Amino acid sequence: MLRRFSGLVLLLSSPALLACGGGSEPPGPAPTSESSLPGPDEFPTPGDPFAKDGPDRQHRSALRAADRALSSLAQHRTGHYQTRMVLPGLSIAFEGDYDIARKSSTNRVTFRAEGDPSIELQMVSVDQRIWLTLADAATSDDPDSCWLLLDADLIEEETGIPLPTLSGVPAAVAVVDQARPVSVQRGSGQVTATAPLGLVAGTTTQTLADNLGIPPRSTIEVQVDVDVFDGEVTGLSTYMDSIHVAALDAGYEPRSEVLDTPGLLSGYSVDTTFTARGLPVSITAPPHDQVVPFTTGRGLDGALSACQGRVSPRGA
């Protein structure tokens, strides 16, 4: 099973994966919910929605309400999230809690490759440090648990693969916080907004952003859709094709000629839902005696095997 996990990480880093069909159907649009946001049926995108000579008063009111809703997600500081992305032949789901003030999160990650059983991992991140274990040994208060302390630079040196962006709070939270609303659709609860490309690309995997040549701090704006209900953000959808096209338009150089073709990622989205906003969360680093640092020379599979091999199953 561990060998298959490394194989999935390799798939995530491969531009060739993006060029094959893999038998997976692109996901449909994210569901929306009714909202209390005011606004006409659909406004055109304004150059500056808050300028005195901008759109009419109703439009500005709708955009201001949307802006307050988007800002409120980070103001709650804590919450629960679920993210799902679908690639050809592979789906990845993330679920967990986050704490913005502590720059921490828990992430249960499920990989489902076509034709293979799913693989589940658990990650805990506290202030840019990441611990990983198999999901069946994922409770930090279990004395039989064993966690790898990941070092992104060492893993890239060992495998040539950058880790997915999982440290700190989920990228989707940062995207919503920095998104700028540009239109509101009445009755659907959907806000069309723009956000910095570097952040939006982080909602996928860091490997996709790297393969497209996107700098992490790229401030080029790209479209996202945010679902709002009763003044609160409930969901975010980002679009791989929009990320791809924006990177090409900006002149960023992909690592593979495969990614020189616009439209390659059309129909693929990353969809996140937000719940339990503002409720208490408990995110703690695993105890020191349950942690094995990742070191070079064994690979990720070898490190996970060594970690699991140094403890006895509960009750044994």
Torsion sign over Cα 252, 258, 264, 265: negative
pLDDT higher than threshold 70 for residue 41: no
- pLDDT for the residue numbered 47: 40
pLDDT higher than threshold 60 for residue 315: no
- pLDDT for the residue numbered 20: 36
Residue 244 dihedral angles phi and psi, to the nearest 5°: -60, -50
pLDDT higher than threshold 70 for residue 52: no
Quickly state the pLDDT bin for 226 (edges 50, 70, 90): very high
Check: CB of residue 32 under 8 Å from CB of residue 227: yes
pLDDT higher than threshold 70 for residue 33: no
> Distance from CA of residue 252 to its chain's centroid?
21
Quickly state the pLDDT bin for 306 (edges 50, 70, 90): confident
pLDDT in tens, 268-292: 999 999 999 999 999 999 998 888 8
With a CB cutoff of 8 Å and minimum separation 6, the contacts of 209 are 165, 198, 201, 202, 216, 243
pLDDT higher than threshold 70 for residue 106: yes
Give me the percent of the chain exceeding a pLDDT of 90: 36
Total-model pTM: 0.78
pLDDT higher than threshold 60 for residue 133: yes
- pLDDT for the residue numbered 30: 37
Check: CB of residue 127 under 8 Å from CB of residue 273: no
Calculate mean pLDDT across residues 22-33: 37
pLDDT higher than threshold 70 for residue 157: no
- pLDDT for the residue numbered 167: 57
Calculate mean pLDDT across residues 123-131: 84
Residue 236 dihedral angles phi and psi, to the nearest 5°: -140, 135
Residue 76, SS3?
Answer: helix
pLDDT higher than threshold 50 for residue 234: yes
> Distance from CA of residue 289 to its chain's centroid?
30
Q: What is the mean pLDDT of the chain?
A: 76
Calculate mean pLDDT across residues 165-192: 85
Alpha carbon distance 30, 34 (integer Å): 13
